[in-house]
Amino acid sequence: MKAYIEANKERFFEELFSLLRIPSVSSLPEHGPDMQRCAERLVELLMEAGADEAAVYPTTGHPVVFGKKIIDPSLPTVLVYGHMDVQPVDPIELWKSDPFEPEIRDGAIYARGANDDKGQLFMHIKAFEYLVRSGKLRHNVKFIFEGEEEIGSPSLAPWAKEHKDLLAADIILVSDTTMISEEVPSINCGMRGLSYVEVKVTGPNKDLHSGHYGGAVANPINVLCDMISSLIDKEGHITVKGFYDEVVELSDEDRAKLGRAPFNLEEYKNFLDINEVKGEKGYTTLERVGIRPCLDVCGIWGGYTGFGAKTVLPSEAHAKISMRLVPNQDSATITKLFAEHFKAIAPDYVKVEVTPCHGGDGFLIPISSKAYQAASKAMTEVYGIEPVPARGGGSIPILADLQRILGIDPLLMGFGLERDTIHSPNESYLLKQLFAGMESIALFYQYY
Amino acid sequence: MKAYIEANKERFFEELFSLLRIPSVSSLPEHGPDMQRCAERLVELLMEAGADEAAVYPTTGHPVVFGKKIIDPSLPTVLVYGHMDVQPVDPIELWKSDPFEPEIRDGAIYARGANDDKGQLFMHIKAFEYLVRSGKLRHNVKFIFEGEEEIGSPSLAPWAKEHKDLLAADIILVSDTTMISEEVPSINCGMRGLSYVEVKVTGPNKDLHSGHYGGAVANPINVLCDMISSLIDKEGHITVKGFYDEVVELSDEDRAKLGRAPFNLEEYKNFLDINEVKGEKGYTTLERVGIRPCLDVCGIWGGYTGFGAKTVLPSEAHAKISMRLVPNQDSATITKLFAEHFKAIAPDYVKVEVTPCHGGDGFLIPISSKAYQAASKAMTEVYGIEPVPARGGGSIPILADLQRILGIDPLLMGFGLERDTIHSPNESYLLKQLFAGMESIALFYQYY
Local structure of B13: helix, strand or coil: helix
Please name the residues in contact with A227: beta carbons below 8 A apart, sequence gap of 6 or more: A201, A342, A345, A346, A352
A36-45, A173-182, A296-305, B421-430: range with lowest mean pLDDT: A173-182
Question: The dihedral of CA B50, B51, B56, B62: what is its sign?
Answer: negative
Could you give the C-alpha distances from A294 to A237, A277, A284, A393, in angstroms and in order? 8, 14, 14, 10
Closest residue in A to B220 (Cα–Cα): A297
**Please, which pLDDT band fits residue B207 given cuts at 50, 70 and 90?**
very high
Q: Is the pLDDT assigned to residue A326 strictly greater than 90?
A: no
CA distance B213 to A414: 17
CA distance A218 to A351: 11
**Please, which pLDDT band fits residue B327 given cuts at 50, 70 and 90?**
confident
Q: Chain B residues with CB inside 8 Å of A277's CB? A: 216-218, 349
pLDDT at B394: 67
B293/A211 Cβ within 8 A: no
Q: Which amino acid is at A388?
A: V
| pLDDT-above-90 percentage for chain B | 80
| pLDDT-above-70 percentage for chain B | 99
Inter-chain Cβ pairs, chain A and chain B, closer than 8 A: 365
pLDDT at B181: 84
Q: Chain B residues with CB inside 8 Å of A207's CB? A: 91, 421, 423-425
| Average pLDDT over all residues of chain B | 93
A294/B313 Cβ within 8 A: no
Average confidence (pLDDT) over B297-326:
93
Alpha helices (runs of H) in B86-209, residue ranges in sequence order: 118-133, 156-162, 164-167
Please name the residues in contact with B438: beta carbons below 8 A apart, sequence gap of 6 or more: B1, B5, B123, B126, B127, B130
Q: Is the pLDDT assigned to residue A390 strictly greater than 70?
A: yes
Q: Chain B residues with CB inside 8 Å of A289's CB? A: 211-216
Q: Chain A residues with CB inside 8 Å of B278's CB? A: 216-218, 347, 349
Backbone angles phi, psi at B280, to 5 degrees: -65, 135
pLDDT at A393: 64
Alpha helices (runs of H) in A29-188, residue ranges in sequence order: 32-49, 118-133, 156-162, 164-167
Q: Is the pLDDT assigned to residue A394 strictly greater than 70?
A: no
Q: Is the pLDDT assigned to residue A248 strictly greater than 90?
A: no
Q: Are B180 and B261 in contact (CB under 8 A)?
A: yes
B296 → closest Cβ in A196, A222, A309: A222
Q: Chain B residues with CB inside 8 Å of A196's CB? A: 309, 311
Q: Chain B residues with CB inside 8 Å of A302's CB? A: 297, 299-301
Average confidence (pLDDT) over A107-116:
98
Question: The dihedral of CA A163, A169, A175, A177: what is its sign?
Answer: positive
Q: Is the pLDDT assigned to residue A259 strictly greater than 90?
A: no
pLDDT digits (tens, 9 = 90+) for B250-305: 888 778 877 877 789 999 999 999 999 999 999 999 899 888 999 999 999 999 99
pLDDT at A338: 98
Residue A1 or B392, more confident: A1
CA distance A339 to A241: 10
Q: What is the dihedral of CA B106, B112, B117, B119, to 10 degrees?
A: -40
CA distance B46 to B51: 6
Instruction: Please list, residue by residue across B334-348, b when 16 or more beta carbons sit within 10 angstroms of its beta carbon and e when fewer do.
Output: bbebbbebbeeebee
Q: Are A211 and A375 in contact (CB under 8 A)?
A: no
B229/A225 Cβ within 8 A: yes
Q: Is the pLDDT assigned to residue B225 strictly greater than 80?
A: yes
Whether ipTM > 0.90 holds is no
Q: Is the pLDDT assigned to residue A341 strictly greater than 80?
A: yes
B221/A299 Cβ within 8 A: yes
CA distance B8 to B86: 26
Average confidence (pLDDT) over A379-403:
84
Q: Chain A residues with CB inside 8 Å of B214's CB? A: 289, 294-296, 322, 324, 393
Q: Are B279 and B294 in contact (CB under 8 A)?
A: yes
A300/B310 Cβ within 8 A: no
A300/B301 Cβ within 8 A: yes
Q: Is the pLDDT assigned to residue B360 strictly greater than 80?
A: no
pLDDT digits (tens, 9 = 90+) for B134-151: 999 999 999 999 999 999
CA distance B313 to B431: 51
Interface test with A, best of B148, B320, B358, B361 (most A CBs within 10 A): B320
Q: Chain A residues with CB inside 8 Å of B209's CB? A: 394, 422-424
CA distance A154 to A271: 35
Residue A60 or A254, more confident: A60
pLDDT at B290: 83
Q: Chain A residues with CB inside 8 Å of B178's CB? A: 212
Backbone angles phi, psi at B76, to 5 degrees: -65, 150
B289/A303 Cβ within 8 A: no
A293/B215 Cβ within 8 A: yes
A311/B423 Cβ within 8 A: yes
A349/B304 Cβ within 8 A: no
CA distance A172 to A390: 18
B392/A194 Cβ within 8 A: no
Q: Chain A residues with CB inside 8 Å of B300's CB? A: 221, 224-225, 300-303, 305, 317
Please name the residues in contact with B156: beta carbons below 8 A apart, sequence gap of 6 or more: B59, B64, B144, B146, B148, B398, B401, B402
A289 → closest Cβ in B213, B306, B349: B213
Which of B413, B435, B445 lies closest to B16 in space, CA to CA?
B435
Q: Is the pLDDT assigned to residue A316 strictly greater than 90?
A: yes
Q: Are A316 and A200 in contact (CB under 8 A)?
A: yes
Closest residue in B to A237 (Cα–Cα): B215
Q: Which amino acid is at A329?
A: Q
A232/B229 Cβ within 8 A: no
pLDDT at B361: 78
> pTM higher than 0.90 for the full model?
no
pLDDT at A315: 97
Q: Is the pLDDT assigned to residue B366 strictly greater than 80?
A: no
